[in-house]
Structure 1
């Protein structure tokens, strides 16, 4: 019997993982939100982990993933400081395996990027969205933890943007606009991931004898224009010089509409190589990228509720 401690069960991804674990005969769940207040100290978390004899900790709490963060300081505290506290609790409780959520967008986008970016690719130094900046800092803390705690396995799952009709992710909100923005002359490739494939990867990571970072995405990237049209929309094209000039006097969202990522991602691709997850986690995405995005077009009532 594997005892899994989940932080972030109040997220949609957390809820799906809880449901999946509940039907697993060899898993016993300990849900942080059912046992401790969200601001609990690391010592309180460690005490609960020791009492429950936790084998695996999975952290899915990410402010800004499923709803825009209202307060930058609170988001940083939730994403970085609380994650650091969680790692400290795992150290004190002697937890064998820790699984963290991150994003393939930590690599950023650049004209000189390889066609597929493996897990050894350096993180982008260019401008990032606040959430991606938090993921980068969280990964740096996790890497130092792994170096100083070699007996505890740290697994980081770098997920492409989660997309499904009932999913409140930044990319779904972008597709929900009547005319999603694009820059004239640019058509970057993007990746998506179905939530069920993400859940499958977390379950595999909880049991596999591995450590390190793993990229997760559906097979076959799409161009941004393809994805917009598959979602049942038509793009609104902007000239980049006009956008850059207008941004000096008015907020970006008033110029482009909703675009939750760094501007570079409207120009250049960020496509992650998923072969390591396939080989070492024995993970295979069940949902193709095209089918994932097309499903948004078949559920207009749901995507309408995602509009910003």
Structure 2
């Protein structure tokens, strides 16, 4: 008598239209261990597949937790990936708060009643904040200090703290939080990629902090690993190596403009208020101080190690072919 094969896993993904959400959908569609994928977002993602089912879901709506709980029960979801977070700041701060902070509350309310086997949250190393007394490498045990003037960062801090409380209150759920270093690459769009596409960049006089990125494909691979794994807790997802900010600008071919902090902050306030730039004044602190994370725990417990170096990541963002990379790197470091 032949045995009946076990049904595959059912995964729900919020933020299905984000870069990481879409990348994960593509990978899950090709994964034989996955039987169905619920793509949850306010608009349909640009991914089609026999396993993928799009469900329109708005996390800013006050009754969405009940709607989501019904979906999870109906489809017997065993893995929930929460990625409905903005990749760049917005002037619509109240809406962003409803989406990220309050939206996370709705998600956790729904999951509390259903208790999926696994819950994966997409976060960022920005939650540590850029501060003068930061160590060279921040471990996952470091305080989530955020930034007192950045709602873009602080909404993510509050959302992550909610997930941490959920993990304590629901020990039967495998909760995994991925704190991604800024993601760059040829197709991703976020605050950092927009900043680095400008021809000139401010440099705070007397400051040249180390910077850290992760390539978009390494980031997608890490997220897939987190879905597959049983590892729990928070993990820093970072690329190989770090570089000084001015070296990053040299690799990118951007013109550094040295200026005093007070001038840079006043100029940034005007440009942000008039919507001429996509990064608020609080972003300048990341050009002043370290915000570099230690990826050892992810390598040890999650089995993730970035494949691409920071130099290769930057050059790929530029669209430079590998055979041209050595020349460009040497020129930037000269």
Same topology, TM > 0.5: yes
Q: What's the counterpart of residue 306 of structure 1?
A: none
User: Residues 215 and 274 of structure 1 are in contact (CA less than 8 Å); yes or no, is this contact kept in structure 2?
Assistant: yes
Paired residues in the alignment total 296
> Aligned runs of 1:169-248 on 2, under 5 Å?
169-244=190-265, 246=266
Q: What's the counterpart of residue 150 of structure 1?
A: 171
Q: What's the counterpart of residue 57 of structure 2?
A: 37
> Aligned runs of 1:11-50 on 2, under 5 Å?
11-28=18-35, 29-33=37-41, 34-38=54-58, 39=61, 41-50=64-73
SS at match of 2:255: coil
Q: How far apart in 1 are the matches of 2:79 and 2:269?
A: 49
Cα offset, 1:158, TM superposition? 0.3
Cα offset, 1:175, TM superposition? 0.6
Q: How far apart in 2 are the matches of 1:37 and 1:107?
A: 30
Q: What's the counterpart of residue 13 of structure 2?
A: 6
User: Residues 108 and 128 of structure 1 are in contact (CA less than 8 Å); yes or no, is this contact kept in structure 2?
Assistant: no
Q: How far apart in 1 are the matches of 2:270 and 2:152?
A: 22
SS at match of 2:247: helix
SS at match of 1:235: strand
Q: How far apart in 2 are the matches of 1:125 and 1:108?
A: 4
Residues 73-100 of structure 1: per-residue CA shift (max 9 Å, x gap): 1111111111111111111112111111
Q: Does 1:99 align with 2:120?
A: yes
Cα offset, 1:35, TM superposition? 1.9
> Aligned runs of 1:256-295 on 2, under 5 Å?
259-260=279-280, 261-295=282-316
Runs in 1 of length 4+ with deviation above 6 angstroms?
Answer: none
Q: What's the counterpart of residue 58 of structure 1?
A: 81
The structure having more radius of gyration, on CA atoms, is: 2
Instruction: Could you tell me which runs of 5 or more consecutive residues in structure 2 were left unpaired when the two chains were aligned.
Output: 1-7, 42-53, 321-334
SS at match of 1:180: strand
Q: How far apart in 2 are the matches of 1:190 and 1:147?
A: 33
The correspondence for 1:89, drawn from 107, 110, 116, is: 110
Residues 109-142 of structure 1: per-residue CA shift (max 9 Å, x gap): 2232211110000122643522211110001111
Cα distance change, pair 164–253 in 1 and its aligned pair in 2 (3 A): farther
Cα offset, 1:295, TM superposition? 2.1
Q: How far apart in 2 are the matches of 1:182 and 1:165?
A: 24
User: Residues 230 and 297 of structure 1 are in contact (CA less than 8 Å); yes or no, is this contact kept in structure 2?
Assistant: no
RMSD (CA atoms)? 2.2
TM-score (norm 2): 0.82
Q: How far apart in 2 are the matches of 1:249 and 1:221?
A: 29
SS at match of 1:121: coil
Instruction: Could you tell me which runs of 5 or more consecutive residues in structure 1 were left unpaired when the two chains were aligned.
Output: 300-308
User: Residues 231 and 295 of structure 1 are in contact (CA less than 8 Å); yes or no, is this contact kept in structure 2?
Assistant: no
